C-alpha cells in the first residue's frame, strides 16, 4: 500500500462517523499522489500524517437565553488544522458552523 | 446577540489577530460578526483585526461582502476565456440565495449572462427572464424571507418546493448553497443538458461521484478550493488594511481580488498540465496548494 493510501486508511479508521472529513481528505490526498510519489522526504517527515491531524480542536459550552426567556445550551467548536499564508480550507470539517445558526 | 456574546466569551481565549482569525460562513453574516467583535473588544480591551467580515466603521474592507461571489465569477470567466468562451450571452443556474449566490449572480449579469434561478432550504425559483437580484437582496438580507414569496410579485416565474434546481437547462452552473447539494444524478442531468462549466461557490457542494461525471464529460469544473477563495483572499486584504491602518477604495480592492482569482486559475491550470492531467482543475488546485503548504511545513521542522 502506498504512502497516501496508508494515510487515508488510517485517517478513516481514526475518525469514524465523519463522512465529510473522509470525502474531503480522499479528494485531496488522491490528487496530490504524483507530487508525493516524486519525493520520498515527505514520508520520512510524516508530512501527510501531520497535515491531516488538527493542530488543536476546542469544544466548549455556549449557554444563552433566547427571546422567550428560555435558557439554551449549545456546543461551540474551533478547529485549527492548517496555518499559513495560503488559502487551504480546513480538511477537517467539524460542523461548527451549524452551532452558529441563531 | 446573546448567543454571539456567549460564544465569544469562551472563544476569545483561543483567537487573535496573529493567532487565528475567524470569518463568517453559513448563518454568520455582518450582524453576527459585529456582535462577536464587540464582545471580544469588551473582554480583551483590544481593537484589532481578530475577525474578518467586519463592518466598515470598525475595520472592515470594501468588497468583502461581494468577494466570494465576485471571485467565483472572475475565476470561472478566466477558465472560460482560456477556452475561447465567456459568460456573455450564457444562461446560468445558481443554487443558494445567500451572500455568495447573490453576488455571483450580480457579477455574472454584469458580464452579460442571464441568471435564471436561486434556491433556499425550502425550494427554488426559476425565472426564465432572469431573476430579479435586487428583489432577492431585499427579501433575504433585509426582510429575511423565503423564496416562495418571489412569485407573489413576479408572475412569470415559477417556484418549486424541495430540490430540483439542477434540472434547469443551462450553460453554466454555480452551486452556492451548501455541501453535497449536487450529486451524481444532478451532474449527469447538467451534462446531458449541455452545461459547459461548473464553478463551486459553496464549500464541497459536489459529491465525489458528481465531480467524476464532470471530469469524464468534459465539463469545465472549477473546484471550491480555487473558485471560492475570493472571500478568504479578501479577508486577507482586510487584514492587510488593518495592519496598515488604511482603507482602500472599492475599485482598489476589487482589482486586487480579480488579479488574485486570475492567478489562482493560472496556477491550477499549470499544475494540472505539469502532472499530465490537463484540464483536471481539482488536481491542479490541490497540487498548487499542497506544494506551497508542504514547502512551509518542511521548513518549519517536525511540529
Instruction: Let me know whether B71 and B27 are in one domain.
Output: no
Co-location of B144 and B72 in the same domain: yes
According to the model, what pLDDT value does residue B54 have?
95
| Same structural domain, A86 and A59 | yes
Residue B216: pLDDT above 60? Answer: yes
Q: Which whole number is the average pLDDT over B137-154? A: 96
Residues B133 and B178 placed together within one structural domain of the fold: yes
For B124, half-sphere exposure in the C-beta direction (CA atoms, 13 angstrom radius) is 23
**SS3 state of residue A15:** coil
B233, B291, B298: residue with CB nearest A35: B291
B289 pLDDT above the threshold of 70 = yes
Percent of chain B residues past pLDDT 70, beyond the cut: 100
The total number of structural domains in chain B stands at: 2
Q: What is the nearest CA distance from B295 to chain A, expressed in angstroms? A: 10
Residues B50 and B85 in one domain: no
Interface test with A, best of B39, B228, B243, B286 (most A CBs within 10 A): B286
Q: Do B267 and B180 share a structural domain?
A: yes
d(CA B210, CA B238): 34
Is A62–B7 a contact, with Cβ atoms under 8 angstroms apart? yes
Q: What is the pLDDT of residues B60-107, one digit of tens each?
A: 999 999 999 999 999 999 999 999 999 999 999 999 999 999 999 999
C-alpha torsion sign, points B254, B256, B262, B264: negative
Reported as a single tens digit per residue, the pLDDT across A28-68 is 999 999 999 999 999 999 999 999 988 888 899 999 999 99
Q: Are residues A2 and A37 in the same domain?
A: yes
Residues B21 and B104 in one domain: no
State the CB neighbour count (10 A cutoff) for residue B178. Answer: 17
Q: Domain check: are A46 and A70 in the same one?
A: no
Which of these three, B41, B60, B79, is where a domain ends?
B60
Q: Pull the grid cell for residue B78.
A: 478566466
Q: Which of B28, B283, B293 comes nearest A88 by C-beta?
A: B293
Chain-wide mean pLDDT for chain B? 96
Put simply, whether A12 touches B (Cβ < 8 Å) is no
Q: Which of B34, B60, B86 is the last residue of a domain?
A: B60
**Quick count: other Cβ atoms within 10 Å of Cβ B303?**
6
> Per residue, what are the HEC states of B96-164?
CCCHHHHHHHHHHHHCCCEECEEECCCEEEECCCCCCHHHHHHHHHHCCCCHHHHHHHCCCCEEEECCC
Domain around A48:
1-53
Q: Position of cell 445567500?
A: B98
pLDDT number for residue A17: 87
**Total structural domains within chain A:** 2
pLDDT of A55 reads 87
Verify that A58 and A74 share a domain, yes or no.
yes
Answer whether A59 touches B (CB < 8 Å).
no
CATH number, domain containing residue B45 = 3.40.50.10860
- Based on the fold, state whether residues A43 and A4 are members of the same structural domain: yes
Q: B230-254: per-residue pLDDT in tens?
A: 999 999 999 999 999 999 999 999 9
Question: Domain span at residue B144?
Answer: 61-303
Q: Quickly state the pLDDT bin for A82 (edges 50, 70, 90).
A: low
Residue A88 pLDDT grade (very low, low, confident, very high; cuts 50, 70, 90)? very low
Q: How far is B47 from chain A (nearest CA, A)?
A: 21
- Which residues of chain A neighbour B301 with C-beta distances below 8 Å? none
Residue that wins the pLDDT comparison between B255 and A24: B255
Question: Are residues B130 and B65 part of one domain?
Answer: yes
B204 & B247 share domain: yes
Contact A74 B296 (CB under 8 A): no
- What is the mean pLDDT of the segment spanning B194-218? 97
Residue B115 and residue B76 share a domain: yes
B200 and B54, same structural domain? no
In this structure, are B29 and B115 located in the same domain?
A: no
| Structure confidence by residue, pLDDT tens digits, B2-12 | 999 999 999 99
State the angle between helix axes of B229-244 and B250-274 in degrees (0 to 180), rounded to the nearest 10: 130
pLDDT at position A54 is 85
Based on the fold, state whether residues B21 and B123 are members of the same structural domain.
Answer: no
Amino acid at each position: 500500500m502506498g504512502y497516501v493510501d496508508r494515510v487515508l486508511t488510517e485517517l478513516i479508521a481514526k475518525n469514524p462517523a465523519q463522512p465529510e472529513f473522509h470525502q474531503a481528505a480522499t479528494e485531496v490526498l488522491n490528487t496530490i499522489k504524483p507530487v508525493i510519489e516524486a519525493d520520498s522526504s515527505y514520508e520520512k517527515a510524516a508530512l501527510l500524517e501531520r497535515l491531516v491531524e488538527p493542530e488543536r480542536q476546542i469544544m466548549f459550552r455556549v449557554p444563552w437565553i433566547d427571546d422567550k426567556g428560555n435558557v439554551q445550551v449549545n456546543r461551540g467548536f474551533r478547529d485549527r488544522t492548517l496555518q499559513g499564508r495560503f488559502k487551504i480550507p480546513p480538511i477537517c470539517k467539524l460542523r461548527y458552523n451549524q452551532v452558529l445558526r441563531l | 446577540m446573546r448567543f454571539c456574546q456567549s460564544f465569544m466569551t469562551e472563544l476569545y481565549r483561543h483567537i487573535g489577530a496573529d493567532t487565528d482569525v475567524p470569518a463568517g460562513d453559513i448563518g454568520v453574516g455582518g450582524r453576527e460578526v459585529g456582535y462577536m467583535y464587540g464582545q471580544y473588544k469588551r473582554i480583551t480591551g483590544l481593537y484589532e483585526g481578530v475577525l474578518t467580515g467586519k463592518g466598515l466603521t470598525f475595520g472592515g474592507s470594501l468588497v468583502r461582502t461581494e468577494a466570494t461571489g465576485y471571485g467565483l465569477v472572475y475565476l470561472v470567466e478566466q477558465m472560460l476565456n482560456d477556452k475561447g468562451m465567456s459568460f456573455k450571452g450564457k444562461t446560468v443556474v445558481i443554487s443558494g440565495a445567500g451572500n455568495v449566490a447573490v453576488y455571483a449572480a450580480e457579477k455574472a449579469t454584469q458580464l452579460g449572462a442571464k441568471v435564471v434561478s436561486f434556491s433556499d432550504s425550502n425550494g427554488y425559483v426559476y425565472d426564465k427572464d432572469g431573476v430579479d437580484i435586487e428583489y432577492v437582496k431585499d427579501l433575504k438580507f433585509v426582510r429575511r424571507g423565503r423564496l416562495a414569496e418571489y412569485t407573489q410579485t413576479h408572475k412569470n416565474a415559477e417556484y418549486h418546493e424541495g430540490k430540483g434546481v439542477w434540472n434547469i437547462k443551462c450553460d453554466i452552473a454555480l452551486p452556492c448553497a451548501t455541501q453535497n447539494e449536487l450529486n451524481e444524478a444532478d451532474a449527469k442531468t447538467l451534462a446531458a443538458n449541455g452545461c459547459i462549466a461548473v464553478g463551486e461557490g459553496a464549500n464541497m457542494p459536489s459529491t465525489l461521484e458528481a465531480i467524476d461525471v464532470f471530469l469524464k464529460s468534459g465539463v469545465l469544473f472549477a473546484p471550491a478550493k480555487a473558485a471560492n477563495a475570493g472571500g478568504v483572499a479578501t479577508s486577507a486584504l482586510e487584514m492587510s488594511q488593518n495592519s496598515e491602518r488604511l482603507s482602500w477604495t472599492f475599485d482598489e480592492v476589487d482589482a486586487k481580488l480579480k488579479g488574485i482569482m486570475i492567478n489562482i486559475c493560472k496556477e491550477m491550470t499549470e499544475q494540472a498540465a505539469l502532472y499530465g492531467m490537463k484540464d483536471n482543475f481539482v488536481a491542479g488546485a490541490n497540487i498548487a496548494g499542497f506544494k506551497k503548504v508542504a514547502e512551509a511545513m518542511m521548513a518549519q521542522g517536525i511540529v
